[in-house]
């Protein structure tokens, strides 16, 4: 997921570019229940700026 965010923002973490669309804003937890058990995914947050 981190690579997808990087592509969407058009910048790596802490990188300043003219093309930058938004900024990272931490992550949120999303529970996922499977046959094996419960997983907690860390979904990146993005804010426009």
Question: Rounded to an integer, what distance in angstroms lies between the CA atom of residue 36 and that of residue 19?
Answer: 42
**Rounded to whole angstroms, how far apart are CA atoms 6 and 32?**
24
**pLDDT at residue 35, rounded to an integer:** 96
SS3 of residue 2 by DSSP: helix
**Which residue is associated with the tokens 């790596």?**
12
Per-residue model confidence (pLDDT) at position 49: 60
CA count, 13 A, side-chain hemisphere, 33: 0
* pLDDT at site 37: 96
pLDDT tens-digit series, residues 1-49: 777 777 777 777 767 777 777 777 788 999 999 999 999 998 888 787 6
pTM (predicted TM-score): 0.56
């Amino acid at each position: 997921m981190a690579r997808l965010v990087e592509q969407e923002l058009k910048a790596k973490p802490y990188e300043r570019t003219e093309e930058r669309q938004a900024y990272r804003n931490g992550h949120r937890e999303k529970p996922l229940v499977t046959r094996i058990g419960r997983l907690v995914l860390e979904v990146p947050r993005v804010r426009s700026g």
